[in-house]
Structure 1
Amino acid sequence: MQSAYDVIIRPIVSERSYGLMEEGKYTFEVAKKAPKEEIADAVEKLFGVHVLKVNTINVHSKSKRVRYQMGKTRSWKKAIVTLAPGEQIEIFANQQAASDSE
């Protein structure tokens, strides 16, 4: 079993992820080999919340052209974590409140 900090790499901040936050769903980039159980345990340990469900998506690499050569972006794994009703992750709540007031 990996450390919680090895499983959760970073939160995903986008318009779509902010829309999901209103439904109690939070989006993270996670380790490629982390199973759903480890992701749920890591979120519960790091943020002190109860996880109901974890959905994972493998994001495949895309071909990109850099000058005269073709290259590829990296592939990664995304997890959408659904929390128990009435719970939220405080870090995101503070950022969302700041963006709403602007």
Structure 2
Amino acid sequence: MVRINFSSSIDLIKYPLITSKTNLLFENNQYTFLVDPRLNKLSIKKAIEFLFDVKIIKINSCNLPKKKRRVGQFTGIKPRYKKVIVKLAKDNKIDLFSND
């Protein structure tokens, strides 16, 4: 297991995943993020609570499979990520679509 300190775990949260299915989860106060696969649930919880100033109730995570990509004659794989669905407390909210 790789030890990751708190300051680097903030950088390892890549971006929120916005699809039609994850938009339906917004109604249940659940948000989806792609993170580095080395992070565990505890470090993900601490980083998201620090970044967005929210209280997390539950975290579901799954490792996404490797995907092959081809550029001309060369084949390779895309970077791997872990998908995380975070359920927030009832009165908390993350504003992903800010007008600023």
Q: What's the TM-score once normalised by structure 2's chain length?
A: 0.79
1:42 correspondence with 2:50: no
Determine what percentage of the aligned residue pairs are the same residue. Answer: 34
Query: Hey, what's the Cα distance between the residues in 2 that align with 1:7 and 1:68?
Result: 31
Q: Which moved more, 1:64-73 or 1:76-85?
A: 64-73
1:25 correspondence with 2:30: yes
1:80 correspondence with 2:85: yes
Query: Hey, what's the Cα distance between the residues in 2 that align with 1:55 and 1:77?
Result: 10
Match of 1:2 among 6, 22, 32: 6
1:61 correspondence with 2:66: yes
Structure 2 residue aligned with 1:90: 95
SS, match of residue 22 in structure 1:
helix
Query: Hey, what's the Cα distance between the residues in 1 that align with 2:89 and 2:96?
Result: 17
Q: What's the TM-score once normalised by structure 1's chain length?
A: 0.77
Q: Which moved more, 1:63-72 or 1:41-50?
A: 63-72
Structure having the larger proportion of residues in helix: 1
One-letter code of the match for 1:2? F
Structure 2 residue aligned with 1:98: none
What is the CA distance between 1:46 and its match in structure 2? 0.6
Count matched residues.
Answer: 94
1:12 correspondence with 2:17: yes
What is the CA distance between 1:70 and its match in structure 2? 4.0
- Segments of structure 1 that go 5 or more residues without pairing to the other structure are 96-102
One-letter code of the match for 2:89? A
- Give RMSD over aligned pairs: 1.9
